[in-house]
Amino acid sequence: MRAYPYPRLSGRVSLRVTAVELKAPGESREPLDVKAFSAVEQVVALGGTERDDWESARLKLSATVPSKATDPDGPWSDVSVVAVLAEGATNARTVVPLEPSTESGREWTGSMDVWRADHLDRASLNVHVVARTDGVAGRVIATSQKDWIVDLSARAPKRQRELDVVEVSFSKGPQWLQPFKGVPWIVDTSGDVAAVHVNTDFEGLTDLLSGAGSAAEGLVRDLMLAQMRTDVWTAVFHVAIGDLEIEEDGTPLFSHDWRGEVLREMLPDVMPGRPLEEALGEVHRRRAGASGWIDLQPRIHFAATQRAQMPKALSTAIRGLDRLHQGADA
């Protein structure tokens, strides 16, 4: 918990995206299907739209703020509520004021334009309550707890990213894949999102993955997907640690892109019970130093396995095999 030198607003501040409209050049705005955004996941997915030429998206926003904020007897005045959309990878930051829509001052609404050219991958959207207090204007007195995600490429509004699978012939495909032509899949972390390249030269592999086969094949497939996810999480963690920016005094920094996100997500499992910054510093020291890195491998493996839901996939497969045997014995 951090301490603030001024009174903060207690209670819950929440944000909802109530509608999304897309605009293509020279055309009027068109509403996006409601399936493209989810209040449960708190995600807006802009990648599933049929039009690929949209240039901006207008998000209709609604925020709920504790009524204490606008209580005339309260410690705050000049209260404003603003929505902030930010993406580290493009340094984009858009701020729009919301207007009170009810007498009580609890509901605030407004809209925000998201320019496609300003964003790359995933932007986070949250809301802040700002007020004058103790004579100082512009104090942040409350912030929404959970960010919304505006995802430029996702087809469905899910917080958890889907695995990006590319099917390609390793022998005939890009040159860098050619040395790996005997390998069933390779994880590529060089793009915006990690991708798995599946080797179409590997006989039967793509059929197996397409999931059209028997029950037994389905079990193997799910297990393989879990293994791929484990490989991806392991790879992205190593890339993120290997690519750290270091301050002059030796302090490592979280990067602004997915590398930073990966570390924030995995470090609590790799270095449990420590604040994120401290955990990052420790992992960096161990990697850069002569010892301690080997001790971390089981923890990295643990963190990756958890995220890939490998234990679940494996027990489902084992149980499924049992059931198949029972069916065969009967």
Partner 1 sequence: MIHKPAYVPERLALLSDLNAAQYITDGLLNGKEGVPAIALDKVVEPLPHEGARTASGPLRELVEDAMHEYEGGKPTQADAWLAPRLHATLRLSRREAADRRLWNHLALGIAPDYVVWRHGKRSKVAAGRFRGPADTQAFARLWWMAELFRNGPDYRPVVTACGVQDVPNTLLRLDVIDHRPTALAMVRLMETGAVTTGREVNALGKAVNASAATLMYDVIAPDVERDGLPGQEWIEASESAGPVPRRMLPEGPNEERAPGSSVELLADHFAELFADAPVRGRVADEDGED
Nearer of residues 147 and 222 to partner 1, judged by Cβ: 147
Tell me, rounded to whole angstroms, the distance of Cα 175 from its chain centroid: 31
DSSP 8-state secondary structure symbol assigned to residue 134: T
Residue 56 binds to partner 1 (criterion: CB under 8 A): yes
- List own/partner pairs for 281-286 with CB under 8 A and 24 or more apart: 281/251, 281/252, 283/241, 284/241, 284/244, 284/246, 284/252
Nearer of residues 129 and 279 to partner 1, judged by Cβ: 129
Least separation in angstroms between residue 120's CB and partner 1 is 4
> What residues form DSSP beta bridges with 109?
62, 99
Report the C-alpha gap between 200 and 202 in whole angstroms. 5
Candidate list 14, 38, 94, 200; residue touching partner 1; CB under 8 A: 94
146-175 mask for partner 1 (x: CB under 8 A)? Answer: ----------------------------xx
DSSP 8-state secondary structure symbol assigned to residue 159: S
Residue 62 binds to partner 1 (criterion: CB under 8 A): no
Nearer of residues 239 and 324 to partner 1, judged by Cβ: 239
Residue 124 binds to partner 1 (criterion: CB under 8 A): no
Candidate list 62, 64, 119, 308; residue touching partner 1; CB under 8 A: 119
Q: How far is CA 44 from CA 19, 32, 35, 151, 245, in A?
A: 10, 10, 9, 6, 30
Residue 137 binds to partner 1 (criterion: CB under 8 A): yes
Nearer of residues 134 and 207 to partner 1, judged by Cβ: 134
Q: How many residues bind partner 1 (CB under 8 A)?
A: 48
Nearer of residues 96 and 223 to partner 1, judged by Cβ: 96
Residue 135 binds to partner 1 (criterion: CB under 8 A): no
- Candidates 114-122, 291-299, 302-310, 312-320: pick the segment binding partner 1 (CB under 8 A): 114-122
Residue 82 binds to partner 1 (criterion: CB under 8 A): yes
Q: How would you label 183-193 residue by residue, b for 16+ Cβ within 10 Å and e otherwise?
A: ebbbbbbeeeb
Residue type, 274: R
Residue type, 180: F
Instruction: Read off the tokens for 26.
Output: 């020279």
Ranges within 289-328 binding partner 1 (CB under 8 A) = none
CA-derived radius of gyration, the chain? 24
Least separation in angstroms between residue 193's CB and partner 1 is 12
Report the C-alpha gap between 286 and 282 in whole angstroms. 6
Residue 193 binds to partner 1 (criterion: CB under 8 A): no
Burial group, residue 57, by CB count within 10 angstroms (0-12, 13-18, 19+): buried
Residue 192 binds to partner 1 (criterion: CB under 8 A): yes
Least separation in angstroms between residue 312's CB and partner 1 is 31
Residue 91 backbone zone (phi > 0: left; psi -120 to 50: alpha; other: beta):
left
> In which element (H, E) is residue 209 found?
helix 205-210
Ranges within 226-245 binding partner 1 (CB under 8 A) = 243, 245
Instruction: Give the binding site for partner 1 (CB under 8 A).
Output: 4-6, 55-56, 80, 82, 84, 86, 88-97, 113, 115-121, 128, 130, 136-140, 174-176, 188-192, 243, 245, 253, 255-257
